[in-house]
A and B are shown apart, each in its own frame.
Chain A
Amino acid sequence: MHYSIVLLLAVPIVGAIVGALLPNARSAKWWALLVSVATALVGVWMAAQFDWNQDLSAVPTSDRLARSVQIAFTPGFDSPLHLQAIQFSFSLGVDSISLWLVLMTVLLMPVSILASFTYIKERQKEFYAWMQALLAFMLGVFVARDLLLFYVCFELTLIPMFFIIGIWGGSERRYAAGKFFLFTFSGSVFTLAVVIFLGLAAGSFDLATVTQYAQYDLTDSARFWVFMGLAAGMAVKVPLFPVHTWLPLAHTEAPTAGSVILAGVLLKLGAYGLLRLAVPMGLIGPAGLMFPTVVKALAVLCIIGVIYGALVAWVQQDIKKLVAYSSVSHLGFCVLGLVALNDYGMQGSVLYMVNHGLSTGAMFLVIGMIYERYHTRDIHQLSGLAKQMPIMSFFFVFFTLSSIGLPGLNGYVSEFLTILGAFTSEHLGIGYGIAAAVGIILGAIYMLHMVARVIFGPLKVPHVHEEEGHKPLSRDLNGREITVLVPLAIAVVLLGVLPTPVLNSVLEPVRMVRQPVTAPIVGPTAQSPAEVAMVQRP
């Protein structure tokens, strides 16, 4: 029993409640920063506890899935956290995939809180309370080892984000918040139905148990619908091509911190859900991959997303919207690597989740800093910022290059691996790889196009009216803003130069995602007779 993982959720929840009760905005700010840093420290502590070189070769394959989870918190059978009536259990745990995403989340949260110190000017207490609550729920998704708990946390992220976009967003914030909520909720209702079905049929909501049940005991048609239901919720969140339309709007309208978290973490919830639930429960059967056609269809959607996102990004006038559309394109790569269902693709996909969170999050931060100074993001009104803001320009170019996938920076490794995965996948093939590669070229074009217009060329900035009652910001980035960006820059370089620890550590878990567990679990765990009757298999 490891309590660090409980602490990981408890710290931000308590923080949110305390933060909402604090007397003034100034203390709420610093309290939020303190809480998020403390959460980050808990995350680091967990990483230190984690056995990165776990050897599972001696473990029988049927146990590997459960054993790969470390730092687990599993309430006892009689614990109040275990609801026998529906076999729900508040059980937590991380494997290496979860842990990397947890680490990325706890890194992004303090920096986005720090970046909001001047950006958020009204109703500050509420804002920081919602941010801390959001942190808890996002971490909850990554560390949940119970299907229902996963779903609950997945849904819970909606409420804080709804308010963050709706209250502190741009001019279209109300529409954006509503659309965001409606889209994601519509998809996830069907996920809920499937989650309950699986929990009911498997006699437990435990992820390992449900996975094994889904792989061995479902009929093909049931498995297909399970996949569709799970994918419906996740695809909207990722977002995949036809259901992506909420994303540009929400990203553009959200305040900077909201955009960072939205792009950096919330989109990963969808990808993580696909990896953790939809693929192993809906695609994998006793004989391995069951629906190659579905995988192909999914890959086609990804590629459409990659190309479409890139083309639309190219013509954007608003730099924030441009980066938002680039997310559509990038997440296409991420899911493409995932559905390649081989080592390269899936390792790349996990790495992509982390990398995209870092570089796109950083892009949104920098854009927010520009916006705070000039109150515009119009590509036509901004030009030659390098002359006026050299430090900002350095970071802007740096993160753009990371996002494009310049060798030596983080984006390169993951982009290369996902495309390699698509090339070498037995279900996909060269055509998919080539199409995705076109996306990379397009990505370089629109990103560099933006950099050329905004950073270089003759200086042109709009005239800014000084706001009353607020100290004007310095012309270039100030110390706080540099503090915000430096940790991200370091992480970008580190992951670019040394991706191997990440790749090696996730190799075993991603193999487990795509390989069926060999022996099915027989029957639900010990229950009282009444409960056995309640959870009879259909």
Chain B
Amino acid sequence: MNTLPVAIGLPYVPDWGQLRAFAPELWLIAAIVAVLLTPFFVKKPNAACGWVALVGLLAALVSVFVVGVDGTGEHFRGLMVADPVSVFWKGLLLMFVIGIVLMWFSTTAPTMHQGDGPEFFTLLLGATLGMSLMASTSNLLMLVIAVELASLPSYVLAGFRKTHLAGAEASLKYILFGAATSSIMVYGLSMLYGLYGTLQIDGPGGLAQQIATSGGSALLWMAIFSLIVGLGFKISAVPFHFWCPDVFEGASIEVSAFLSVASKGAGLVLLMRVMMSFASAQAYESTPLLNHLAVLLGVLGAITATVGNTAAFVQRNIKRLLAYSSIAHAGYMLCIVSLLVRGPAVKADLDLASTAAQVVLFYLAVYLFMNLGAFTVAGLIERETGTERIADYAGMGRRSPLMAFCLSACLFSLVGLPPFAGFVAKVNVFWALMQNGSWWWWLVGVIGVNTVLSLYYYVRVIKVMYLDDSSSAPIWPHPLGAGVAVVCAAILVFMLIAFGPINRLAGHYSHFYGVDQTTFTAEFSSSQPPP
């Protein structure tokens, strides 16, 4: 019997300094425990759990601001990083989930079976925890754990309406595809581990650096493909998008809203982090690996946007429409991620990669409010009238002027029309794409054509609301939900005015750990990767 000649090493117990950067996650865990214990103290626990979750999320959000960007970077022996990008995403995510909880109070809460609340919020907070961890992973193991922690509760949330046959079916499809794609992803990651003998992505001896020195191989490509399969599923990029409309239709509306932003955003941030590591380790040389990867992501983004927009044309259900619209927007953002890979390679300039990250972060911030607003209005209308059909929105301009206005603002913003924030986001996208050489013009063209396509189906909803007459009774939406919708619409207008500061904020936070600009500029003339 021979032993493994490996150093087991000292066991690792993180001290407070290490944990401090992850205070938001700790608050989320505390909130989960509190939610689980609530039914022991409260007779009708649904609303109480909602409040507990809200308090926990607020505490987590405050801790994001209090802790801020921790200068120490790597944590837990490189398992996780706390860098500006992850902090920005966590702030966005927590704000968004607070919105989702408020939305729950105004839409689903009264109909939810008493006693289901604790489970619902445990799952919601658990998925949130996973999604915030996804932004902080710098290790393949942590990547898998975070992705699964985000996925597993999402599967259940999708089928949470137990009496709803469509919900169960959606959940089934979701979990089937999810399990298959995640096993493919893990298989690919095992290949990466086999090739390079480490699970660490960044840093000396990390995957990115070894790939940079050893160049590409067929196995490497297989591994990268499978990683893109796994993350593409979360982002709902095109060949892996089938779950998205079904789940959005089958799930209750706040779950759809949650998945539309949080799941995609987390996937994108994670994809950006991995791609940024690859790109920076190549020392910003235009290597075939980076070029091919960029083309792959660009084509994926273009196809995703086009498929999402064309499929949205024929939708009669508002949730399915928003599902396909979210696929399209994921496509736009993927195009920018492709830029993050190739931009540095073309221009040998880190600023462009940072610009791309900034554009995606800004887009996510805008997209968050657009979708939250649109889903909230759809949920409020569904609660009052019980319908999700777009045709039943007829006369909404008179039946509920406020809701119709908020929904219109969100939809116009999704098209990218001034004066709404979506316009600024789109300008940013074009702006970033054009900085990256003539090859990128075709992406500009694709996004342009897609914007025109998308106009048609978004404006159709507005047309139904304002131009079709209906004798149906006026609607008085729940004040809390109405408040959420109004705040979203107001922010969309406000962002055009406050574009400068918010964009600067996104720019300020668009930096990844391990990609140090000064190191790069010092090293950039030599072909060796930075030490």
- Interface residue ranges, A against B (CB under 8 Å): 80, 83-86, 148, 151-152, 155-156, 158-159, 162-163, 166-167, 173-174, 177-178, 181-182, 185-186, 189-190, 192-193, 196-197, 200, 530, 533-534, 536, 538
Residue of B nearest to A152 (CB): B418
User: Would B455 and A185 count as touching, CB distance under 8 A?
Assistant: yes
Q: Tell me, in angstroms, the Cα distance from A162 to B435 when the chains sit together.
A: 34
Residue of A nearest to B453 (CB): A186
Q: Tell me how many residues of B have a C-beta within 8 Å of chain A.
A: 35
Contacts of B444 in A (CB 8 A): 193
Q: Could you list some 26 contacts between A and B, CB below 8 A?
A: A83-B499, A84-B500, A85-B500, A86-B431, A86-B503, A152-B418, A152-B419, A155-B418, A156-B418, A156-B419, A163-B466, A166-B467, A174-B467, A177-B463, A177-B467, A178-B460, A182-B452, A185-B455, A189-B448, A189-B451, A190-B448, A192-B427, A196-B427, A196-B430, A196-B434, A534-B355
Interface SS of A by simple majority: helix
Of B445, B452, B504, the residue contacting A85 (CB under 8 A) is B504
User: Would A185 and B452 count as touching, CB distance under 8 A?
Assistant: yes
Q: Does B456 contact A (CB under 8 A)?
A: yes
- Interface residue ranges, B against A (CB under 8 Å): 349, 351, 355, 412, 417-419, 423, 426-427, 430-431, 434-435, 437-438, 444-445, 448-449, 451-452, 455-456, 459-460, 463, 466-468, 499-500, 503-504, 507
Residue of B nearest to A122 (CB): B398
Q: Tell me, in angstroms, the Cα distance from A85 to B459 when the chains sit together.
A: 31
Q: Tell me, in angstroms, the Cα distance from A163 to B404 when the chains sit together.
A: 13
User: Would A182 and B430 count as touching, CB distance under 8 A?
Assistant: no
Contacts of A197 in B (CB 8 A): 430, 434
Residue of B nearest to A174 (CB): B467
Q: Tell me, in angstroms, the Cα distance from A158 to B351 when the chains sit together.
A: 36
Of B351, B437, B459, B466, the residue contacting A533 (CB under 8 A) is B351
Q: Tell me, in angstroms, the Cα distance from A219 to B418 when the chains sit together.
A: 31
Beyond contacts A86-B427, A166-B463: 7 other A-B pairs, Cβ-Cβ < 8 A, are: A84-B500, A159-B412, A178-B463, A185-B452, A196-B430, A534-B435, A538-B434
Q: Tell me, in angstroms, the Cα distance from A196 to B438 when the chains sit together.
A: 14
With contact pairs A156-B418, A166-B467, A167-B467 given, residues A196 and B431 touching in the complex (Cβ less than 8 Å) = yes
Contacts of B430 in A (CB 8 A): 192-193, 196-197
6 residue pairs, one from A and one from B, having the closest CB atoms: A152-B418, A166-B467, A83-B500, A196-B430, A186-B452, A189-B448
User: Would A200 and B452 count as touching, CB distance under 8 A?
Assistant: no
User: Would B466 and A167 count as touching, CB distance under 8 A?
Assistant: yes
User: Would B456 and A530 count as touching, CB distance under 8 A?
Assistant: no
Q: Tell me, in angstroms, the Cα distance from A454 to B52 when the chains sit together.
A: 75
Residue of A nearest to B417 (CB): A155
Chain B nearest CB, measured from A6 CB (Å): 16
Q: Tell me, in angstroms, the Cα distance from A497 to B449 when the chains sit together.
A: 48
Residue of B nearest to A86 (CB): B431
Residue of A nearest to B431 (CB): A196
Contacts of A80 in B (CB 8 A): 500
With contact pairs A86-B427, A193-B444 given, residues A159 and B417 touching in the complex (Cβ less than 8 Å) = yes
Residue of A nearest to B420 (CB): A159
User: Would B463 and A200 count as touching, CB distance under 8 A?
Assistant: no
Contacts of B466 in A (CB 8 A): 163, 166-167
Contacts of A162 in B (CB 8 A): 459
Q: Tell me, in angstroms, the Cα distance from A192 to B430 when the chains sit together.
A: 9
User: Would A85 and B468 count as touching, CB distance under 8 A?
Assistant: no
Contacts of B467 in A (CB 8 A): 166-167, 173-174, 177
Contacts of A196 in B (CB 8 A): 427, 430-431, 434
Q: Tell me, in angstroms, the Cα distance from A155 to B434 when the chains sit together.
A: 21
Q: Tell me, in angstroms, the Cα distance from A120 to B370 when the chains sit together.
A: 33
Residue of A nearest to B504 (CB): A85
Q: Tell me, in angstroms, the Cα distance from A190 to B445 when the chains sit together.
A: 8
Q: Tell me, in angstroms, the Cα distance from A86 to B499 when the chains sit together.
A: 10
Chain A nearest CB, measured from B363 CB (Å): 15
Residue of B nearest to A192 (CB): B430
Of B417, B431, B503, the residue contacting A158 (CB under 8 A) is B417
User: Would B351 and A530 count as touching, CB distance under 8 A?
Assistant: yes
Q: Tell me, in angstroms, the Cα distance from A181 to B430 when the chains sit together.
A: 22
Residue of B nearest to A181 (CB): B459
Q: Tell me, in angstroms, the Cα distance from A534 to B351 when the chains sit together.
A: 7
Residue of A nearest to B397 (CB): A167
Chain B nearest CB, measured from A208 CB (Å): 21
Contacts of B426 in A (CB 8 A): 192
User: Would B423 and A152 count as touching, CB distance under 8 A?
Assistant: yes
User: Would A193 and B418 count as touching, CB distance under 8 A?
Assistant: no
Of B355, B437, B507, the residue contacting A538 (CB under 8 A) is B437
Which one of B430, B449, B468, B499 has the greatest number of beta carbons of chain A within 10 Å?
B430
Contacts of A86 in B (CB 8 A): 427, 431, 503
Q: Tell me, in angstroms, the Cα distance from A182 to B468 when the chains sit together.
A: 18
Q: Tell me, in angstroms, the Cα distance from A420 to B351 when the chains sit together.
A: 54
User: Would A174 and B463 count as touching, CB distance under 8 A?
Assistant: yes
Q: Tell me, in angstroms, the Cα distance from A162 to B467 when the chains sit together.
A: 10
Contacts of B451 in A (CB 8 A): 189
Chain A nearest CB, measured from B521 CB (Å): 11
Chain B nearest CB, measured from A82 CB (Å): 9
Contacts of B423 in A (CB 8 A): 152, 155
Contacts of B427 in A (CB 8 A): 86, 148, 192, 196
Q: Tell me, in angstroms, the Cα distance from A178 to B463 when the chains sit together.
A: 8
Q: Tell me, in angstroms, the Cα distance from A537 to B452 when the chains sit together.
A: 28
Which one of A152, A189, A538 has the greatest number of beta carbons of chain B within 10 Å?
A189
Contacts of B417 in A (CB 8 A): 155, 158-159, 185
Q: Tell me, in angstroms, the Cα distance from A163 to B423 when the chains sit together.
A: 20
Contacts of B468 in A (CB 8 A): 174
Chain B nearest CB, measured from A173 CB (Å): 7
Q: Tell me, in angstroms, the Cα distance from A177 to B418 when the chains sit together.
A: 18
User: Would A193 and B435 count as touching, CB distance under 8 A?
Assistant: no
With contact pairs A186-B452, A189-B448 given, residues A200 and B419 touching in the complex (Cβ less than 8 Å) = no
Contacts of A185 in B (CB 8 A): 417, 452, 455
Contacts of A156 in B (CB 8 A): 418-419
User: Would B456 and A182 count as touching, CB distance under 8 A?
Assistant: yes
Q: Tell me, in angstroms, the Cα distance from A85 to B362 when the chains sit together.
A: 13
Q: Tell me, in angstroms, the Cα distance from A226 to B460 when the chains sit together.
A: 31
Q: Tell me, in angstroms, the Cα distance from A538 to B455 when the chains sit together.
A: 31
Chain A nearest CB, measured from B424 CB (Å): 9
Contacts of B500 in A (CB 8 A): 80, 83-85
User: Would A85 and B507 count as touching, CB distance under 8 A?
Assistant: yes
With contact pairs A159-B417, A166-B467 given, residues A181 and B455 touching in the complex (Cβ less than 8 Å) = yes
Chain B nearest CB, measured from A306 CB (Å): 29
Contacts of B431 in A (CB 8 A): 86, 196, 200
Residue of B nearest to A151 (CB): B418
Q: Tell me, in angstroms, the Cα distance from A85 to B467 when the chains sit together.
A: 39
Of B349, B355, B448, B460, the residue contacting A193 (CB under 8 A) is B448
Q: Tell me, in angstroms, the Cα distance from A197 to B435 when the chains sit together.
A: 9
Contacts of A530 in B (CB 8 A): 351
Q: Tell me, in angstroms, the Cα distance from A197 to B440 when the chains sit together.
A: 12
